[in-house]
Chain A
Amino acid sequence: MTDQSVARSTSYLQTAPTPAAPPPISSRGAWGWARANLFATIPSATMTILFVLLLVWAVPDLFRWAFVDAIWSAPDGAVCRVQNTGACWAFIAPKFDFFMYGTYPREALWRVDVTLAAGAVLIAWLLWPDSPRKVIGAFLFFIVYPVVAYFLLHGSPLVGLSVIDTARWGGVLVSLLVSAVGIVVSLPLGVALALGRRSKLPFIKLACTVFIEFVRGVPLITVLFMANTMLPLFVPENWSPDRLLRPLIGVSLFAAAYMAEVVRGGLQAMPKGQEEGAMALGLTYWQRMNLIVLPQALTIVIPGIVSTFIGLFKDTTLVAIVGIFDFLRTVETARLDPAWAGPSISTTGYVFAALFYFVFCFGMSRYSLYMERRLAVGRKH
């Protein structure tokens, strides 16, 4: 028999596979998606309906408050008071300088702008993963920049800039300043405390442990109170620290204790062989730490470090308790301005402040996620 005749006589046999049937209508397209994700079971469907009703009830009102009924420009609060239905965004623009700089002299604002811009450029340099010559960037940011920033912001007859008392500093400037100082001081200090806590030398270990546990056991407000009222008592009377410096010290020490615990987590997660290997090669303690242990340990705890920074950034709002005009405090002050007083001013001010903090904190957490993924790629091989 030829092949052809076989084919003819067995034509009932299928020679090509049947094309796959499409999935049933109930699991295809939008309807299928909705069935699987919104109405899979009766409780699930009930919750979907409840939440959709909630959204239908709340979202249009919110939208109308924030956009449709909002007042976008007005000379003063009169318009917002008359139509008191929506947000009064008009209030932000006239107060913007106050929110940014506090009562910093208007003619010297360029000094703040230059400082902030330089800081932003340096931070971008350090954080951009592929940027060249990070060592120079780090040197500029950690050593040169603080000195330059001090002379620019505070001024000094040495450089021919008028001295501006810290009592006039405020707004976003102070919020960023407190968090930047906190971050720059707390990271090295935290690493030192963490190493001290894991030290084999009993007294160093004890001192570091007591410091860390003490600071972590008390609220930041009490630390700020302590820095504000007790620090001036502990130093000779003519040394009394500046009133902005006191909370800076408090915040830095507070953040350092939390940072120390995060770093300690990284140190503990390191396999013991790493340090033993370095020891076998004859490296000294500081060589082992700087070249082998810390680079790996700090990489492991990047998420923890960033979340400590986020916590620190949110905690800068508390410096208001010792009379520092941070951003939130300027919003608090501005919303009570009688020229603007109105039913929607408080909410407008708070929503604006919330957006500011949200952008910063959310940005930081996204950056940490991105870095985590990037670094994880290297470790998978």
Chain B
Amino acid sequence: MTDTTTRIAPRVSPWNNPVIRGWIWQFVLLVALLVLTWSAVENAATNMASRGIPTGFDFWNRSAGFDINQTLIPFTNQSTYGQAFWVGLVNTLLVSVIAIVLATIIGFLVGVGRLSKNWIVARLATIYVETLRNIPLLLQLLFWYNAVLKPLPNPRDSLSLFGAIYINNRGLILPEWHWGQGADYVLIALCAGIVAAIVYTLRARRLQAATGQQSPVFFISLGLVVGLPLLVFAVMGAPLSLTVPQLRGFNFVGGIRVLPEFVALLLGLSLYTACFIAEIVRSGIQSVAHGQSEAAHALGVRQSLTLRLIVIPQAMRVIIPPLTNQYLNLIKNSSLAVFVGYPDLVQVFMGTVLNQTGAAVQVIAITMGIYLLISLLTSLGMGIYNQRMTLKER
């Protein structure tokens, strides 16, 4: 009976067919989004016209007429809004890169410290993490800026370190250095040293993979990277002169001034992000099976070497993806600069430029686009890294 009848799919009404339903849902969403976008654009056009808000990018090449107190690329009040954008972007990247380095160092130390067998170290690391991550970053920034750096003495009563570095409420004043004749050779030696160290490390690694023989990679690399330039520096007759800052009247002349806003932002960002990095490092280390370090100890490997050669390399696989996320968070959080007045992208471009030109839509779109670009590039890099690092299982 059954084998003679061919099976016919049960007849479903089109409304109950999941495929058709799916398309209907999608169509509804598409229409809704289109209507929303269209009405937003329409309204924006009329509103911007009635309020006289510029719609083009003409402002980009107009003279900005304001000064920025930290510029790594040339900028005067004659420069254009476009140049102000680049100054802001460079300032954002500067503080982010330095804060990332500091946060990574502090975070790794605290993360390892939380797992330390030393009771007091573990306790202090826990207190550090639990305190800082439960207090808003903005509050920490304001604390560093208004409660720590602003009450510092004025330039006349500066705190002085070695008579060359001065700390006061206008910032940190460091000696300025000038390279003299022959400094190029030092730079060349440094580059050559780095290249040689990389080549040597790769060769040592290949040697170890082939024969198991270890080479003193660390000391030879150190000698190549630091020793070689130093040697050339000495041979060239020390072509470096320092200008020690001098107090003249009410302020210092000579020397490099690091803004207190920069220091506050740097301290806030790196200490805050460090406690998240510490947690990532701790969970990464704990994710390495205990047998790994036990086996290493059984082979007579010292505790410090076990950590460096056995545990950390395996933990890195777990640590790197969330670590990158924290780096991205740090870059995004650097936009809090606007609250302490550090001239970053948001403060310069979304603050001053937006106020002066009124080009809200364009300015906000460009700023968001930049952060988005940084995020997307990082995610792309992360994807590639993850593909390479995933355990190759058979």
Contact = CB atoms under 8 A, between A and B. Distances in A.
B364 A201 contact: no
Interface in A152-205: 200-204
Interface residues of A, number: 55
Interface in A193-234: 200-204, 207, 213-214, 216-222, 225-226, 229-230, 232-234
Contact count band on B: 35 or more
B26 A350 contact: no
B134 A362 contact: yes
A222 B364 contact: yes
B136 A230 contact: no
A51 B117 contact: no
B336 interface: yes
Nearest to B123: A51
A230 B371 CA distance: 18
A357 B135 CA distance: 6
A55 B339 CA distance: 32
Given A203-B30, A219-B335, A237 B138 contact: no
Interface stretch (B39-47, B159-167, B217-225, B289-297): B39-47
A235 B44 CA distance: 7
Contacts of A234: 39-40, 43-44
A236 B350 contact: no
B119 A233 contact: no
Which of A207, A221, A315 is the most central at the interface, judged by chain B CB atoms within 10 Å of its CB? Answer: A221
Given A207-B33, A218-B332, A350-B147, A229 B135 contact: no
Contact of B372 (A204, A218, A320, A358): A218
Contacts of A221: 335-336, 338, 346, 350
B336 A318 contact: yes
B17 interface: no
Interface in B317-364: 332-333, 335-336, 338-339, 346, 350, 354, 360-361, 364
Given A204-B26, A219-B333, A37 B372 contact: no
A222 B371 contact: yes
A37 B364 contact: no
Interface in B113-162: 116-121, 124, 130-131, 133-139, 142-143, 146-147, 150-151
Given A217-B372, A217-B376, A218-B372, A362 B30 contact: no
A52 interface: yes
Interface stretch (A40-48, A113-121, A138-146): A40-48
A292 interface: no
Given A225-B364, A358-B135, A232 B47 contact: yes
Contacts of A213: 375-376
A235 B131 contact: no
A40 B333 contact: no
B29 interface: yes
A122 interface: no
16 contacts: A200-B22, A204-B29, A218-B368, A219-B333, A221-B338, A221-B350, A222-B335, A225-B346, A225-B350, A233-B361, A314-B137, A318-B336, A335-B146, A357-B135, A358-B135, A361-B133
In order of increasing CB-CB distance, the 10 nearest A-B pairs are A217-B375, A361-B134, A37-B119, A234-B40, A219-B332, A314-B136, A219-B335, A217-B372, A203-B26, A346-B147
Interface of B: 22-23, 25-26, 29-30, 33, 39-40, 43-44, 46-48, 50, 53, 116-121, 124, 130-131, 133-139, 142-143, 146-147, 150-151, 332-333, 335-336, 338-339, 346, 350, 354, 360-361, 364, 367-368, 371-372, 374-376
Given A350-B146, A362-B130, 10 more contacts: A47-B118, A221-B336, A222-B335, A222-B346, A225-B346, A237-B50, A318-B336, A328-B136, A335-B146, A347-B143
